Structure 1
Amino acid sequence: MSITTDKLEVMPVIPRPQDFDSRSGGLLERIIFNNRLVLVIVCVVLTAVLGHQASRLEINASFEKMMPVSHPFIQNYLQNAASLRGLGNSVRIVVENADGDIYDADYLAALRDINDRVFLVPGVDRSFMKSLWMPVVRWTEITAEGYKGGAVMPDTYDGSAASIEALRDNVHRAGIVGSLVANDERSSMLFVPLLSHDAITGNALDYRAFRDALESIRADHAGKGVNIYIIGFAQLVGDLIHGLIEVFTYFLYAAAICSGLILLYTRCLRSTALVVTCSLVAVAWQLGLMRLFGLVLDPYSVLVPFLIFAIGVSHGAQKMNGIMQDIARGTHRYVAARYTFRRLFLAGLTALLADAVGFGVLSVIDIPVIRDLAVAASTGVAVLIFTNLILLPVLLSYTGVSHVAAMRSLREDEGDHPLSRWLARFTTRPWAIGVILLSCVVTAGALVVAADLKIGDLDPGAPELRADSTYNRDNMYITAHYQLSSDQFAVVVTTPEYGLVKFETLLEMDRLEEILRDVPGVQTTVSAASLARNYTAAGFEGSPKWITLNRDSYVVSDALNYVYDGNPEMFDDSRSVAPIIAFLADHKAETLDRVVKTVQAFAAEHDTDERKFLLAAGNAGIEAATNIAVGHANRTMLFYVYAAVTVLCFITFRSWRAVVVAVVPLVVTSLLCEALMVVLGIGVKVATLPVVALGVGIGVDYALYLLAVQLAAQRDGMPLTEAYCKALVFTGKVVALIGITLAAAVIPWAWSPIKFQADMGLLLAFMFIWNMLGALIVIPSLATFLLKRESGKQTDRDGRQAVADAGLEKPAVSETTGTIMRSADEGTAGEPPTGRTFELDRHARLPVMASPRND
């Protein structure tokens, strides 16, 4: 079946289904409506099966899926991840003494209990866990007898004043104030690296269960003299997943709002219930298929069911509107359903394909979590093609619509609606010129503002959550009380085996540290080189003159052995891989950019065949790679989505002028959306990157529905103004309904505890509304200058016109009734059997997307 907009087809009024030729229509239509009961039974079975699968869908996330896995930075990290155990996924737990400092028996007892419970939580990499109670945290000093050292927590600790005083001395000798112990010594930290998979079961880390375990520990110690603060990717994702439970309630709000708007428009309870039910079925199928595909519901893909439901309701409203118009004119509900299927299936299919394009281009983004979102969303759109373009008309062929609602709709369509009169002004040159000039001014302003659009996070802490969230309050406390921040940017130094023992390697590492410490936003740095300096001095009676790097390989090796005893994460067993860790004041895009450029410049000058300085590891290093990937994908994604939408529009309209008319409003809205992001302080990142693509893919629906009817009317002889008014009556008012419905469905996200969902809700609502206004105002204005030539014939003031394109060779028009008389011998698809004559009211002449007969 080919998509065309060449002509209007006369659809006869058939009040009895037995008068309808069931062999008429295309092959797909006959298959569907001649086997209605079978199709409904199959849908019921599929809904039961996929609904069961949907109930088993997991809610989780993955640290690895947040990375742009093919980016060179991430490839470098993954190749050396086994040697960088302390720089992967981890959490930091700070325990504060509410009534004093850490040198208190009750506090230390509570810290020990917390340490032991965290140590046993599934997913903890116990060999690299650090705290005052872990023996891996050690102190070392030089005495007259030589080296002396041990665990920071004395082996003889018994809670006495003497053992606590010994702990105080060990803390100061270990030099951990500012890292594991707060600057004011009122709190201490547990550093907890995590495993991606459970070593026993092999299952992926369950972030929700991990977060719940930590929150249980926090709750058990509440009001017992200690305060607990927790930060890290696992805690953040756990909070996001916990917030999803509340977000699910917004689905109910969206369903209620959409149902209310549709009911307000139709005043028909049964058809509204069917539209909402089919959309809910689509959501159930989509979630069930996600489960079968092995996907999980994460904080990003949780938004997809909202969009699928809203899109389903909007497309369902178009089908319901068409059936309602036919029934009001006297056509039987079964025939009306087939008529509407003929008119709107191809337009709806093209629109949904455009939606699929908007989702599908997200797969060009080299971040697995976004690709999973693209798969989930594309699956949902594919489901909508079946549930809302096929199942809904079939169900409406059984139930029909309320007679009262149908007649009210007909009266509104035949009346001279004030909104139609007002919108029709934009097909006149003065109004069109004004709209075009205003659009140019707005676009220019948006370009100026959008030039300041930033890539990455613009706020400290976790921008995914509200500023007053527990996580961000915890982060503020830790940042204020510890010298070393949680934002770690690591440069990976690689050499041949035992290459770190060479003086030249340590010297270059030390030089890079010195350069990084001068970069704005870097608090301090640490590496095997800087630590080796202090241990070298310790080997020479602690003399400050020996706080240096020694050229003797034996001295260097001895110093590195002591470094490894206290900091095993600083290099691997073969002494060939070591990180240089920069602790950053924040992870804003500007800070990360400065560090990346500094390291790249240093590496370009100092890399050799045996020694490489590779980017990047640490949570800040991974985020830097993500920002680069997002910045590259942003324009690439927009190019692909606009290219695909342009191709779809050209296939549909077969006119480059019509393509320009359809696409220009989308471009204006995209630029306005980027300007709004600048005004709201929202950067382009993983959470917000999909918004513009989704807005374009869904927004083109408006143009497809509106222009398809307008062009068909113009090519059948109507002037532009009349053709536009006809499009407004038939699909334009539903376009307005769709825009409002989609915006209303996502606007409740603005109250979400998850900030990036709130941001997406505001941006999508903005794009939906502006795309709707662009379709209703900018499209007719552009059409005034670009689509005048689409009119093939002229029509008189009464609206009578030639209908030869619809198959009528010589129609006889009654001057008294204004009706077209013709016999069944001249009939088109859907007419009564041969031998019957009938009368067709001119108001019943509705447009249809014409396609070749397949019977």
Structure 2
Amino acid sequence: MSEQKHHYSSEPEHYILSSESEPFLERLIFNNRSLVIVVLMALTALFGYGLSKVTLDASIEKYIPLNHEYIQNYLVHKDEMKSGVANVKIAVETTDGDIFTQDYMDTLSKISDEIFFVKGVDRSGMESLWTPNVRWMEVTEEGFQGGPVIPSTYDGSPDSLEQVRQNVLKSGQVGRLVANNFESSIINVPLVEYNPDTGEKLSYATFSADLEEKIRNKYGSDQYRIYITGTPKKLGDLLEGAQSIALFFLAAMVMTAILLYLYSRCIRGTIVPIVASLIAVVWQLGSLALMGFTIDLYSVLVPFLVFAIGISHGVQIINGIAIESGKGASPVQAARHAFRGLYVPGMLALLSDAIGFLTLLFIDIGVIQELAIAASVGVAMIIVTNLVLLPVIMSYIGISQPGIDHAYKASQSKAPVWRGLSAFASRKVAPFPIAIAIAMGIGGYYYSQDLKIGDLDKGAPELRADSRYNKDNAFMVGNYSTSSDVFVVMVETAPERCNAYKVMDAMDRFMWYMENVPGVQSATSLVTVSKLVTKSMNEGNLNWSALSRNQTVLNTSIQRAPGALLNSDCSMAPVIIYLNDHKAETLETVVAAVENFKDSYDDDVDMKFYGYRYNELEQAIEDGEIASVPVRFQLASGNAGIEAATNQVIADAQGTMLIFVYVVVFVLCFITFRSLRAVACILIPLALTSILSQALMTYLDIGVKVATLPVIALGVGIGVDYGIYIYNRLEVMILAGKSMQEAFFETLRSTGKAVSFTGVTLAIGVATWMLSPIKFQADMGILLTFMFLWNMLGALILLPALASFLLKPESMLARHKKKHGEVPPAG
């Protein structure tokens, strides 16, 4: 049968399919259906091959803003720092007395030896009671005496155990390597991020699994309990928890299939959208792998969003095909007409999604930028799979008769719910939802002013409070004096001059200043060692616990200082600040205090003097080129310092990203609909949802951080789809000559039904994330569920209410007639 001209009609709508009215894109696709199928099958095979190359990456560098000033300062001294982020602490607790027993010491020795050979451990930097770099020292009448905490003469006898006890007390390790109650001790494990033999990156997932298998499972018991903390272990636990994402994806797919069948009553109309959306996921993952990208803890969630977006657009296509089939169209005619009516709003919605996601590239954090690329690539794939592949396949197989009957019955239904919702498009009812929206917007904006940047919970906020890691962290915090939240300030000077009095005095004043800042527990540095040694050299007299102005005394006092407190050429000495926690307010307070001190103490000296060797510097001082030894305080290292830098990047980028998202959506909607009134109808409900979502974050104590910031762009990008589909159909009905309320009623019976189904389905799908062991995934589930539902309600309630006041049907008709010379068909 010829497809060039086929007339058919159905009350109350009619339309004409003719070759003259077919857009070029429609002719290109449907006149070459076989070729399209072959090309898309070839692409599926190519990207399927790429799927086999996908790897999961959890490099620490991807989670921090590498171009931030603090991180740049840290990277300069990265190889010299012992307090960076690639460190793990392992505590071994005894439940039977204290650690000074032969059995405990033997067990600790075995664990230390086991850890020593775990792949990725920096063996030279390990610290435990059994390593020779953990020493004790005292001053006697005969001078300094010292040695390893566990001497070579140790034999496990009561006398040797008592000697170990005395050595521990002399070592200053109580509260640091040994618990305050003497019931546990810590093994500090620095890591190497690259295998020196192969050059491969350390896999934190493998490393974490090795610790569980070789340490916790092997040595943990009722008598000895193992606790493990540190950023690498946290990432390992997150990667372990990420395996549950596959289960959530499967659950969402099953629920979507059930709901889609109940919606369409057609097996074909259920399977094809799901298959098309899964193909989009395969294309997305495969293309990213072929382009050299890896999957991380955040972008691993993107495939679900790609699947969800694909389903939302697939439902619109299936709904359109079913309605057209109910009017008597053949499968190919129904597919062509559904494509013709939906490819413009569908393309607009998907372009808005893709470009909106790309605004995340403004945030200079690797995981967020890769998430932006992954989401944008996924949406680009949906344009092909769901707007091209899906209708082409359906043009061959069509909707089943039960599905056609169900769709036609629904399109003709006078359901009270649709009639009730259509009242929002009347000027009598519209003021009520508008007034409520204004009140909610004002209230939400006011409440959201307390929204915080960064983490608001103790421990690892990415994991639940009752997670194994956070329980381990709570043990560390409760039993040791040194916090796991470390903020490091690097004090730079000229080579071989970090022990100069001016430098040491500046560090001493800085430590005193910081120890009086709220949120700071304590601080330690080269000054701490110098004061301790000087006091010890003078019979322990507290009057001598001060910096000596005699350079010879200073030099002597730091001869045995730990390598973690100065670098190899004595041009940098870190000040290690232990914080109560890494909450946003604590970090803001600490950073402000450091910056305040830095501004008053940094020397305004030409950078070249920091590179001078000792004799060159002395000559420069003698020649008058420089007054004295230069001192400069540089932020920041340690897990808390890196967290502070991350918070600053997010705070700076948050507003910019949101503005760009809305600018992109505004421009694309205006180009498509050529009406500021139309754009206002679409964007105002979106803006209300954004305000309310920030208020919800404030209420739930969810801070704006790496995990939650992308949700804002994702929620806007996906939410705009609802408004675009609703407005596009509403405009068609208005131009067909219907009144505003009647036009919206007809919109609800077709597109509105699909939008409500999509909103509920997507919300149910992401709501399952709330059960995830990964807290940031649960937080994203809460926020996305809220945004999906509110965006849907905004499109179904607030949009028509705004349209009843903003849109002028008579003017719209007049403009259309003037431009086209005819009224468009209602179909």
Global fold match (TM > 0.5): yes
SS for the counterpart of 1:431 is coil
Larger CA deviation: 216-225 vs 162-171: 216-225
Query: Could you tell me how far apart the structure 1 residues matched to 2:32 and 2:211 are?
Result: 56
| 1:208 partnered with 2:205 | yes
Which deviates further from its counterpart, 532-541 or 607-616? 532-541
How far apart in 2 are the matches of 1:26 and 1:792? 23
| 1:645 matched residue in structure 2 | 665
Paired residue for 2:622?
none
Question: CA offset at residue 846 of structure 1?
Answer: 4.2
Aligned 1:178-577 pairs, distance under 5 A: 178-216=175-213, 217-223=215-221, 225-563=223-561, 567-577=562-572
Q: Given that residues 85 and 230 in structure 2 are in contact (C-alpha distance below 8 angstroms), is that contact kept between their aligned partners in structure 1?
A: no
Post-superposition offset of 1:94: 0.4
* Alignment-derived partner of residue 725 in structure 1: 745
Q: Within 5 A, what are the aligned runs for 1:803-822?
A: none
Indicate if the aligned counterparts of 2:53 and 2:290 stay in contact, CA closer than 8 A.
Answer: no
Equivalent position of 2:589 in the other structure? 594
Distance in 2, Cα, partners of 1:11 & 1:160: 100
Residue 709 (structure 1) aligned to one of 729, 739, 744: 729
Structure 2 residue 768 is matched with structure 1 residue 771: no
Secondary structure of 2:577 counterpart? strand
Q: Which residue of 1 aligns with 2:625?
A: none
Aligned to 1:119: 116
Deviations 1:455-508 (A, max 9, x none): 111110111111111111111111000000110011111111122121011111
Counterpart of 2:34 in structure 1: which amino acid? L
Distance 2:55 2:95 in 1: 39
Is 1:655 matched up with 2:653? no
SS of equivalent to 1:741: helix
Deviation per residue, 1:335-375 (Å, 9 max, x gap): 21111211111211110011113321111111111111111
Preserved contact between residue 266 and residue 272 of structure 1 (Cα < 8 Å)? yes
Deviation at 1:772, TM superposition (A): 0.5
Q: Give 1:803 shift.
A: 8.9
C-alpha distance after superposition, 1:772-821 (max 9, x if no partner): 00001001111111102565449xxxxxxx99987879xxxxxxxxxxxx
Alpha-carbon distance, 1:224 to partner:
6.3
Q: Is the 8 A contact 1:11 1:846 kept in 2?
A: no
Q: Deviations over 1:570-602 (max 9, x none)?
A: 110111111111111111111111110110000
Shift of 1:713: 3.0
Other-structure match for 2:757? 737
Aligned residues: 791
For residue 89 of structure 1, report the CA deviation from its aligned partner. Answer: 1.6
CA distance in 1, matches of 2:409, 2:139: 97
Q: In the alignment, which of 30, 34, 42 is matched to residue 33 of structure 1? A: 30
The answer to whether the Cα contact below 8 Å between 2:58 and 2:297 also exists between their aligned partners in 1 is yes
Identity %: 46
Distance 1:578 1:789 in 2: 73
How far residue 76 of structure 1 moved from its aligned partner, in angstroms, is: 1.1
Kindly indicate whether the alpha-carbon contact (under 8 Å) linking 1:14 and 1:335 is maintained by their aligned counterparts in 2: no
Q: Check whether the contact 1:14–1:332 (CA below 8 A) recurs between aligned residues.
A: no
Query: Does the C-alpha gap of structure 1 residues 222 and 327 become closer, same or farther in structure 2, counting only changes over 3 Å?
Result: same
8 A Cα contact 1:720 1:791, kept in partner: no
Partner of 1:142: 139
**1:608-757 map, 5 Å:** 608=603, 609=605, 610-757=630-777
Q: CA deviation at 1:50?
A: 2.1
Distance 2:495 2:407 in 1: 81
**Compared CA separation, residues 552 and 28, structure 1 to 2 (3 A):** same
Q: Which moved more, 1:146-155 or 1:599-608?
A: 146-155
Other structure's SS at 2:430 match: helix
Maintained 8 Å contact 2:325/2:334: yes
The one-character-per-residue Cα deviations of 1:50-85 (angstroms, maximum 9, x if unpaired) are: 224324422231111111112111111112212213
Choose between structure 1 and 2 for higher RCO, CA contacts under 8 A separated by at least 6 residues. Answer: 1
Question: How far does residue 298 in structure 1 lie from its aligned partner after superposition?
Answer: 1.9
1:579 matched residue in structure 2: 574
Per the TM alignment, residue 291 of structure 1 is displaced from its structure 2 partner at its CA by 1.6
- Secondary structure in 2 matching 1:561: coil
Structure 2: unaligned runs, 5 residues or longer: 11-15, 606-629
Cα contact 1:718–1:791 (8 A) shared by 2: no
Task: Indicate which of 139, 149, 164 corresponds to 1:152.
Answer: 149
CA distance in 1, matches of 2:7, 2:137: 95
Shift of 1:447: 1.3
- CA–CA distance in 1 between the matches of 2:17 and 2:545? 97
- CA shift at 1:159, angstroms? 1.5
User: Is the 1:14–1:20 Cα contact (8 Å) retained in structure 2?
Assistant: no
- Equivalent residues of 1:720, 1:788 under 8 A apart: no
Deviation at 1:20, TM superposition (A): 8.2
Deviation at 1:415?
A: 2.9
Q: Which moved more, 1:711-720 or 1:549-558?
A: 711-720
Is the Cα–Cα contact under 8 Å of residues 22 and 34 in structure 1 kept in the other structure?
A: no
Q: Is the 8 A contact 2:91 2:228 kept in 1?
A: yes
Report if the CA contact (8 A) 2:193-2:202 is conserved.
yes
Does the aligned pair in 2 maintain the 1:315–1:388 contact within 8 Å? yes
Task: Answer whether contact 2:413 2:749 (CA < 8 A) is retained.
Answer: no
Q: Give the alignment's TM-score, normalised by structure 1.
A: 0.90
Task: Tell me if the contact between 2:426 and 2:740 (Cα under 8 Å) persists in the aligned partners.
Answer: no
- Distance (whole Å) between structure 2 residues aligned to residue 635 and residue 606 of structure 1: 33
Q: State the distance in 2 between where 1:399 and 1:626 align.
A: 52
Structure 2 vs 1, CA of residues 556 and 256 (structure 1 numbering), >3 Å: closer, same or farther?
same
- Cα distance in 1 for partners of 2:325, 2:760 equals 26
2:778 match:
758
Tell me, in whole angstroms, the C-alpha distance in 1 between the residues paired with 2:818 and 2:356: 39
The secondary structure found in structure 2 opposite 1:500 is coil
SS at match of 1:159: coil
Instruction: Give 3-state SS (helix, strand or coil) of 1:147's partner.
Output: strand
3-state SS, counterpart of residue 555 of structure 2: helix
CA offset digits 1:122-150 (Å, max 9, x no partner):
21122211111111111111122211111
CA distance in 2, matches of 1:103, 1:390: 72
Counterpart residue number, 1:91: 88
- The 3 A distance-change label for structure 1 pair 806 and 409 is farther
The residue that corresponds to 2:161 in the other structure is 164
Q: Among 69, 73, 84, which residue is 2:70 paired with?
A: 73
TM-score, normalisation: structure 2: 0.93
Contact 1:86 1:128 (C-alpha < 8 Å) held by counterparts? no
RMSD of aligned alpha carbons: 2.0
Q: Alpha carbons of 1:420 and 1:20: their partners in 2 closer, same or farther (altered >3 Å)?
A: closer
| Alignment of 1:54 onto 2:51 | yes
CA distance 1:806–1:264, shift in 2 (3 Å): farther
Q: CA contact under 8 A between 2:138 and 2:146: conserved in structure 1?
A: yes
Secondary structure of the 2:575 match is strand
Q: CA separation in 2, counterparts of 1:672 and 1:11?
A: 49
Whether contact under 8 Å (2:740, 2:809) holds in the other structure is no
Question: Could you tell which deviates more after superposition, 159-168 or 36-45?
Answer: 36-45
Shift of 1:111: 0.8
